[in-house]
């Protein structure tokens, strides 16, 4: 099975963190009909947030 991942910025989807390069921020569209017209900011679960007070 061929897995196609796309750069999301040309699709209108941006990362919640600034400075993330396109090569590190990819999406896999599972249902292209459900994604028609979808755009905005991809937000991740809070466990992925950097807590700088722990460093």
CA torsion 37-43-45-47 (nearest 10°) is 160
29 is written with which tokens?
């569209």
Q: What is the pTM of this model?
A: 0.64
User: Could you report the per-residue pLDDT of 17-55, keeping only the tens digit for each?
Assistant: 889 998 888 888 888 888 889 999 998 898 888 765 554
Q: Is the pLDDT of residue 1 over 70?
A: no
């Amino acid at each position: 099975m061929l897995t196609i991942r796309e750069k999301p910025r040309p699709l209108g989807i941006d990362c919640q963190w600034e400075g993330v390069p396109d090569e590190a921020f990819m999406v896999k569209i599972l249902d292209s009909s459900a994604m028609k017209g979808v755009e905005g900011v991809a937000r991740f679960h809070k466990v992925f947030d950097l807590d700088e007070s722990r460093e």
